Chains A and B, each alone.
Chain A
Amino acid sequence: MSLVRLSELAIGQPGIIEDVDAEGPFRQRLQALGFRIGKEVLPIRQAIFGGPLHVRIGSVNIMLRRNDAALIQVWASP
């Protein structure tokens, strides 16, 4: 188990959320969509030209940009 940013997880490699380093409305939005400490998040794919990430958390599919994903710390399963 190693602590990395969500943006650094390989596609298809699940991670457990350890910390969400966002503030204000964005933090609330993340929480409302299920980004909470202890939840499992799975990167599905990345768009071309350094585009956004497609991740799955629980039953929800979400897209977010890589620099925003870098705010989320996850424990990567080996």
Chain B
Amino acid sequence: MKRIALLGMPNTGKSTFFNRLTGACARIGNWPGITVDLLGAKILLGADMVEVVDLPGLYDLHGFAEDEQIVWRFLHNNPVDLICLILNAAQIDQQLPLALQLRRLELPTVVVLNMADEAERLGIRFDAAMLAAGLNCPVCFISAKYGQGFPETRETLRRVLSERPPTRTAALAAEFAEDEALVAEAEQLVARAVTMPRVLEHGLTERIDRIVLHPLFGIPLFFLAMYLLFQTVYALGGPLQNGVAWLLEGFRTQALVLFQPLLPGWLYGLLVEGVYNGVGTVASFVPVIVLFFLGVALVEDSGYLSRIAFLMDALMAKLGLDGRGFVMLLMGFGCNVPAMMGTRVIRSRGLRLLTLLIIPFSLCSARLQVFVFLSTALFSTTQAPLVLLALYAISFLVAFGTALLFKGRLHSHEPLLIELPPYRLPTFKQVVLRGWHEVHHFLNRATRFIVAGVVMIWLLTHLPPGVPAGGPETLAGLFGGWLEPILRPMGIDQQMAVVLLFGFVAKEIVLGAMAVVYGLDGDALAQLMTQRMDGVQAFSFMLFTLIYTPCLSTVATMRSESKSLAFTGVSIFWSLLLAWLLSFLFYQGARLLGY
């Protein structure tokens, strides 16, 4: 099968192009280096199946960044029949040297000038024939976002693929010549083939930047925007969540109970009180999670993330980090794992390890479910949002404090150079695709971890046979008893200790585990929690849940990204120690003060 490799600088719409070409669902981000895994898809081009691979964005074929090295290694080790280079038409003058570097590889190439619509609005005009002659390959103009020019591009790709014989990668080993000569050639070609207005009209982006990057109001505006985003998510998500919970409970009380006389007692217990209640409690949070990710996608694709890096860099520099570290903490609000993979754009090892160390403290969507559930169950409607806000603040403070403590050991200076892309409004389709991608990911985890987790917990709380379910004689009671001396000083009882034990695997299990341990779901579970613990105990439990190891996936990611078992160990040990210390101090302190 023939293979097409997609290449291009970050922020050129390469992922959007890939999605449109393959109909697949890749992550799209307006942030350098977000495409960290290689995405591949097989498509029908003309009469042949062709494999399309989306390589990470790169600035320079000579580059030393990890992403650039990935591209190099890929081209070296995999036969490629056609390179499809995506360039941003609006920034053609900066991006053309990359095209000339590629020309030296002597691989069949098609150059695709994306954002042709944006370039046209900026008043940039192209002489396509001269450009194609200078690059010695076909040139296509498209708008990947809106799909203009797509049929022609597909046809060009098909034609070039069928014309040229497959090439050998051996030719790639040839050395590159001097950069400066290429740059001069690029400038000459731009001068001959492209007409640019002397002053580019940056109108809208400049006007937005004047407000959001304002020296005084920039940072407060950012926090206000975050606050509004979260408020919107809860205002819309709350009723939806109640609706789903009501439906699930209705189904159980109206339909599932009919099976009770037909099945053996233990099997009905396992399937309904275990799997159905456990998974159902988690599933009722899906609407909130979907809305949350739609919001994140909107921010991520708009170009605002780079601005946040700009605003926060001065503060982060004092912590031994840089603006990108703050952006990755924010991305960790969705899920810590992709945020940790995003640190690949950082080249200095010390800085990268320090950023990796703080990301697990970012309050991810899985922990958010637990906090929303417990805070609404145990606090009044006016207190609950404040409790959540406090947890977000603690999440930042713990991350910053950890950076301050470790910055001496993981010291480095890396020059920081970030492009501030023009603001782009993501299309409705992009946002929906992204939301679906996250839901898919969530449901995947649900089937892998949550079902297995709740079954395990049901067994632990019901074995050995004959003892009262959930009592101290069960296996769960036994484990809880062992953990009790450690967890009692922070107000966590035996049953919640078992829940925390399973929370180590994934925080998505925590709610399901609570439902199974107490044999209740939804409102009934919330009711019971108010009898089992008071506000101080609940907050101590949430504090511990926030700070200790987020899930096994983060541990695995930490190991693979840091390539160090010792560092992964330090990270786990530090988060457990800190979680215990802070919960202990909070619980004992609150009790001393008489709460």
Contact = CB atoms under 8 A, between A and B. Distances in A.
Interface of A: 22, 24-26, 28-34, 36, 44-52, 54, 56, 58-65, 68
Nearest to B88: A59
Contact of A65 (B306, B415, B419): B415
Given A31-B179, A36-B183, A64-B416, A47 B93 contact: no
A18 B324 CA distance: 29
B311 interface: yes
A34 B186 CA distance: 12
Contacts of A46: 215
B63 A51 contact: no
A25 B205 CA distance: 29
Interface in B181-225: 183, 196, 200, 202, 205, 209, 213, 215-216, 218-219
A63 B91 contact: no
The 8 closest A-B pairs by CB, nearest first: A51-B314, A32-B59, A49-B314, A61-B420, A32-B60, A25-B64, A26-B415, A68-B415
B183 A47 contact: no
Contacts of A28: 59-60, 62-64, 179
Interface residues of B, number: 44
B417 A29 contact: yes
A62 B90 CA distance: 15
A10 B64 CA distance: 33
B311 A51 contact: yes
Contacts of B422: 61
A52 B416 contact: yes
B54 interface: no
A12 to B, nearest CB: 13
A6 B310 CA distance: 18
Given A30-B417, A31-B60, 4 more contacts: A22-B415, A59-B90, A60-B419, A63-B310
Nearest to B63: A28
B213 A54 contact: yes
B136 interface: no
B309 interface: yes
7 contacts: A48-B218, A48-B219, A51-B310, A58-B91, A59-B200, A61-B421, A64-B415
Interface in B49-76: 59-60, 62-65
Interface string B552-566: 000000000000000
Interface in B381-423: 415-422
Given A47-B313, A54-B420, A25 B94 contact: no
Interface string B228-260: 000000000000000000000000000000000
Contacts of B9: 32
A54 B310 contact: yes
Contact of B60 (A22, A29, A45, A49): A29
B323 interface: yes
A33 B419 contact: yes
A26 B64 CA distance: 9
Nearest to A56: B202
A51 B322 CA distance: 10
B62 A33 contact: no
Given A31-B179, A59-B200, A48 B215 contact: yes
A58 B314 contact: no
Interface of B: 9, 59-60, 62-65, 90-91, 93-94, 97-98, 122, 179, 183, 196, 200, 202, 205, 209, 213, 215-216, 218-219, 306, 309-311, 313-315, 317, 323, 347, 415-422
B122 to A, nearest CB: 8
Contacts, number: 115
B416 A68 contact: yes
A25 B311 contact: no
A60 B91 contact: yes
B323 A61 contact: no
Contacts of B317: 65
Contacts of A25: 63-65, 347
B369 to A, nearest CB: 35
Contacts of B309: 63
Nearest to A66: B314
A60 B94 contact: yes
Nearest to B316: A51
A64 B183 CA distance: 22
Nearest to A25: B64
Contacts of B213: 45, 47, 54
A33 B94 contact: yes
Contacts of A34: 93-94
A57 to B, nearest CB: 8
Contacts of B347: 25
A65 B200 CA distance: 24
Nearest to A29: B417
B319 to A, nearest CB: 13
A62 B323 CA distance: 13
B65 A61 contact: no
Contact of B63 (A29, A44, A63): A29
A26 B415 CA distance: 7
Contacts of A33: 59, 94, 417, 419
A47 B313 CA distance: 8
Given A29-B59, A34-B94, A52-B323, A47 B314 contact: yes
Contacts of B90: 59
Contacts of A32: 9, 59-60, 63, 94, 97-98
Contacts of B202: 56, 61
A44 B205 CA distance: 13
Nearest to B93: A58
A54 B317 CA distance: 17
Contacts of A48: 215-216, 218-219, 311, 314
A31 B183 contact: yes
A73 to B, nearest CB: 16
B93 A63 contact: no
A50 B215 CA distance: 11
B95 to A, nearest CB: 9
B417 A61 contact: no
Given A29-B63, A29-B417, A65 B313 contact: yes
